[in-house]
Structure 1
Amino acid sequence: MGKGEQTRLAVLEQAADVAARQGLSTLTIGDLATRTRLSKSGLFAHFQSKEALQLAVLAYARDKFTDEVLRPATRTRRGEPRVRALFEHWLRVSQESNAECLFVSASAEFDDQPGPVRDQLVRDHRDCSDSIIQMFRTGISEGDFREDADPEQFAYDLHGIMLGFFHAHRLLGDPRAPEHARRSFEAIVAAARRH
């Protein structure tokens, strides 16, 4: 990796952290230049516009989520173990980093603002749901889940659990948030499991 790419990644890491805590719409090239001690013109050469910076931050967070949650889950046996691994990796990452915080906060910021950033957020959320649906469908074909179980409903419920966890953990500071999330997850898995 060249120096330019290393600088870009360092900037995106800082930008993702700021966006997760203060909002994606608050990011500016000028503020980021001050925070990273780089020239505004140098950052402008990397990103060209505020919107391009926002999209680059989303891509950075998406890649991080893929590397830390989705890929590790796919290294687990297909079926319920893979769905379970997905949940555990997602829960761990949501406790340790701001990547999930960024997607939740950006969704609230941009849900009623048409444009490329909102469009990308919609694609990212749909892609995540599609990954959950596919893993769950594989669980049906492996015989772990009932044939009449609804993969879309499972993905919806799992996403709801993670949003509830995020709210309890980040906003309320509830130390039992992981326990509650795990209990909710066990309930949806048990409801879907082939008896």
Structure 2
Amino acid sequence: MAETTSASAPHVTDQRLVKGARSRASIARHAADVATVEGLNGVSIGRLATDLGISKSGIATLFGSKEALQLAAVHAAREVFVEQIIAPSLAEPRGVARVRALIDRWFDHITEPAFPGGCFRTAALIEFDSRPGPVRDALAADHEEWLVFLAGEIRKAQDMGELPPVDPATLAFELDAVVSAANMARQLGSEAKVATARRIAGRLLGRAES
């Protein structure tokens, strides 16, 4: 009997870990949803407990603090960005086709948002750009990693002779700025400006847009 109990203990522990991880992921994703509408400062243990019908102590056990919850929201939003924009674009051939896919999918992420308040990255960066601390650091690191990645893909397209030899980091910055502006325009209800932003991005990538 003792051996059976001992053998089953790791399985029980594993199941609890899996359940805890799923709970963390679900709560973090809801925190990201809330953040796009009310800002990361609107994310709190009490607010999420009310929204999700979970005890405050249960959420506190999983995250420990409001800051940890905010950081988890940043991570959850990053995973969505990778899943919807980066991962499928990597299936495209290396070169300008892949760069265009990245930008097109980012525009789709804005026009058909995964979050109720639009693009998480754009909203959160604006909110925390002047607030030092771990949350700002996480947002800044994520944004910089994206720009470096995009510049790297632009450089590959240039090496193949598919894009003009401009500074890749500058072009990545310009594209990021245009799409971020499109997100703001959509949140303000200006679909025409979103279309304008698409045309600007197309011109930056050497594509004629009507």
Once the 2 structures are TM-superposed, how far is the Cα of residue 100 of structure 1 from its aligned partner? 5.5
What is the number of equivalent residue pairs in this alignment? 189
- Whether the 8 Å contact between 2:24 and 2:62 is mirrored in structure 1 is yes
| 1:156 and 2:173 aligned | yes
Once the 2 structures are TM-superposed, how far is the Cα of residue 101 of structure 1 from its aligned partner? 2.8
The CA RMSD over aligned residues, in Å, is 1.6
State percent identity of aligned pairs. Answer: 35
Larger radius of gyration: 2
Partner of 1:138: 156
Partner of 1:97: 114
Of residues 167, 171, 176, the one that matches 2:184 is 167
Cα separation, 2, equivalents of 1:103 and 1:87: 15
Gaps of at least 5 residues in structure 1 are none
Cα separation, 2, equivalents of 1:186 and 1:19: 30
| 1:69 and 2:85 aligned | yes
Does the residue aligned with 2:94 lie in a helix, a strand or coil?
A: coil
- Whether the 8 Å contact between 1:24 and 1:102 is mirrored in structure 2 is no
Cα separation, 1, equivalents of 2:193 and 2:53: 37
Partner of 2:5: none
Partner of 1:109: 127
Cα separation, 2, equivalents of 1:85 and 1:152: 18
Of residues 87, 98, 103, the one that matches 1:82 is 98
Listed as ranges, the matches of 1:11-30 within 5 Å are 11-30=27-46
CA displacement, residues 99-128 of structure 1 (integer Å, 9 cap, x when unaligned): 863222221221111111111111011011
TM-score under structure 2 normalisation?
Answer: 0.85
Cα separation, 2, equivalents of 1:140 and 1:124: 24
Once the 2 structures are TM-superposed, how far is the Cα of residue 53 of structure 1 from its aligned partner? 0.4
Answer with 131-140 or 181-190: which moved more.
Answer: 181-190
- Whether the 8 Å contact between 1:23 and 1:102 is mirrored in structure 2 is no
Partner of 1:121: 139
TM-score under structure 1 normalisation?
Answer: 0.91
Gaps of at least 5 residues in structure 2 are 1-14
- Whether the 8 Å contact between 1:80 and 1:139 is mirrored in structure 2 is yes
Letter in 1 for 2:90: T
